[in-house]
Structure 1
Amino acid sequence: MGLLILFLSSYSTRGQIEHPKASPFTRVEQQIGLTRIKIEYSRPAARGRELFGGIVPYGRIWRVGANESTKFTSDTEIIVLGNRLPPGTYALYAFPEEDGWEVAFHMNTTHWGDGRTAYDPAEDAFRIKVAPRKEEAWQENFQISFDSIHHNGALLLLKWGHTVIPIPLEVDTEQTMRTTIRKSLEGDPTPQTYYEAARYLQEEGLDTEKALDYVQTAIDLGGDTYYFYRVKSLLQARMGLYRQAIASAERSLELADAEGKDEFVRMNRENIIKWKNWEKERKE
């Protein structure tokens, strides 16, 4: 009897045909500042059907995709509409309504699909309320994507048909970077260390005078480098020191041209013209 069961099991496995899924699996990964987010989900197609209020009923839990529950993973703490989400993996669920949605970050990731009969709201990390918006462009396959990405946040977008659900995500990159900069400069900093610290502060519009000190130290220790002078010029311009900024940009242009860095040559030329005009306007 045992041999028969083993034979039938082996025969059944051999006879299986792998077929394409109607809602194919995908994975989207995005870095936001220093945070890495990964979302794994399946993408159902509309195929002419009514979507929300139709195949996705209002007032009932939805797995935010198809097949297995959608998994949301972050390697650092993030903030979602004021709610702190510790690093880890969560199941993403939604409760659509015509004029407003609730989206749940759920701690139990073991349910198949939407876990309709097993789902326990007590296992939510939290729920948020989000207003859907309509877009003219049609999205045939359900899509999860990121947009408006910057060092400290991004928009998580759920799109299907003409409906878009925007979910703002925040990360505390600034505090992480300040700690990293402090520890790096307390160690054995190189000219590149000082440059990278200056560049981050310059890009974020933070501590301009300190950033200028950092990039000057990079130049003093590491010598003339086109991208060192590029950042120095931007910091000087932010402080209204246009003549000094022009001189730094001219040096950056000269060094970049010698290395064939055409993009930096172009950017420096544009800034030199702009800052000369600003300096002229200030004198008039």
Structure 2
Amino acid sequence: MKKILFVLTFIIAPFIVEAQLKTPQASPKATVFQTVGLTDVEIVYCRPSARGRAVFGNLVPFGKIWRTGANENTTISFSDDVLIDGKVLPKGKYALYTVPKIESWEIIFYSTTNNWGNPEVWNEANVVLRTTVKEDALVKPVESLTIGISSLDANFGYLDIEWENSSVSMKFEVPTQKNTMDNIEKVLAGPTSADYFSAAQYVYQSNGDNAKALNYIDKAMDMSTEKPYWYTRLKSLIQARSNDFKNAIETAKLSLGAAEVAKNQDYVKMNKESIAEWSKKL
């Protein structure tokens, strides 16, 4: 009997898990993606609603650090360094904390992002940047916390936080001109050795034109002063596919020697195996 019950439990268990009840969250999660100039900004937060409650000064006390949302801390990430109030915020992901006040808010970018709400112990050393912005009263109340990016320009945007009767907006500047000029200079300078290597690798892996692949890898090696072992490894493979086993072995030996110096045992092993295999075909 016990055995039958065990078997039935084993069979039924997956259906119980599958049938777990799903209910809406009181503070549903939201994700905001926005590109400002050439900089990607992402905000992840949970959106509490007022539901007839007084929010600021009550549900969210004045003068105290707030997670700027519900549940886990709100996070914001920037793909480039940005400028806020004349201070540089390095690119990366941050917990977004605020200190609401009657006429102004403090906005805090905190380096530890895996907090549930506020950190158990607040560490001022983790504050990467702190700024103060003016609080404005809303004509029409906002029922659910709303965070977004507005007033977009190629060189800046505004981080907006609105809830109940309060609104704050923080300007951040992005390095669009620098990024654009860097991209222009890179393109005008022509392809790099890494570009030619990637092209050769693609042609080889897609069973394309061996002569073209060999031309690309030769250009990559000509532009590289170090001649890295993964370059010579690829060239040996292209040569072997062209049945040029003699030169393939000589190139593989170069790759082997460089891999041994770099102590990359994977490439050492691959080159030794290839040399042994190709030697049989001479």
Same structural fold, with TM-score higher than 0.5 when normalized by the shorter chain: yes
Unaligned runs of 5+ in 1: 189-284
User: Match for 1:33: what amino acid?
Assistant: G
| Secondary structure of residue in 2 paired with 1:126 | strand
Once the two structures are aligned, what percentage of the paired residues are identical?
Answer: 34
Amino acid of the residue matched to residue 149 of structure 1? L
CA offset at residue 51 of structure 1? 1.0
Q: 8 Å contact 1:63–1:92 — kept in the other structure?
A: yes
Residue matched to 1:71? 75
Unmatched tracts of structure 2, length 5 or more: 1-5, 192-282
Say which of 71, 88, 92 aligns to 2:92: 88
* Preserved CA contact (<8 Å) 2:103 2:136: no
Q: Distance in 2 between matches of 1:149 and 1:183?
A: 27
Structure 2 Cα separation of the partners of residues 26 and 147 of structure 1: 17
What is the TM-score with the length of structure 2 in the denominator?
Answer: 0.60
What pairs up with 1:268-283 in 2 under 5 angstroms? none
Aligned residue among 133, 138, 141 for 2:141: 138
Q: What is aligned with 1:185?
A: 188
For residues 234-261 of structure 1, the C-alpha deviation after alignment (integer angstroms, 9 at most, x for no partner) is xxxxxxxxxxxxxxxxxxxxxxxxxxxx
> CA 1:22 to 1:126, structure 2 compared with 1: closer, same or farther past 3 Å?
same
CA contact (8 A) 2:72 2:114 kept: no
CA displacement 1:202-228 (0-9 Å, x = unmatched): xxxxxxxxxxxxxxxxxxxxxxxxxxx
The DSSP-based 3-state class of the residue aligned with 1:132 is strand
Match runs of 1:122-271 below 5 Å: 122-187=125-190
Q: Distance in 2 between matches of 1:178 and 1:53?
A: 47
Partner secondary structure for residue 183 of structure 2: helix
Equivalent in the alignment of 2:32: 28
Distance 2:62 2:107 in 1: 13
Q: Distance in 2 between matches of 1:183 and 1:109?
A: 34
Match of 1:61 in 2: 65
AA in 2 matched with 1:17: L
For residue 113 of structure 2, the aligned residue among 109, 120, 126 is: 109
Counterpart residue type for residue 23 of structure 2: H
Amino acid at match of 1:177: T
Counterpart among 42, 48, 55 of residue 51 in structure 1: 55
Structure 1 CA distance, aligned partners of 2:176 and 2:67? 30
Normalising by structure 1, what TM-score? 0.59
Structure 2 counterpart of 1:119: 122
Matched AA of 1:22: A
Please identify the structure whose Cα radius of gyration is greater: 2
Deviation (angstroms), 1:137: 2.2
Q: Post-superposition shift, 1:16?
A: 5.1
Shift of 1:184: 1.9
After superposition, the C-alpha distances for 1:37-66 in whole angstroms (9 at most, x for unaligned) are 000001111111111101000121111111
Provide the residue aligned with 2:219 in structure 1. none
**For 2:95, what is the secondary structure of its paired residue?**
strand
Write the distance in 1 (CA, Å) between the matches of 2:180 and 2:146. 32
1:150 partner SS: coil
User: Contact (CA 8 Å) 1:111, 1:118: kept in 2 or not?
Assistant: no
Aligned pair count reads 181
Distance 2:107 2:89 in 1: 13
| Counterpart amino acid of residue 76 in structure 2 | F
Residue 175 of structure 1: SS of its match in structure 2? helix
Q: Which residue of 2 aligns with 1:260?
A: none
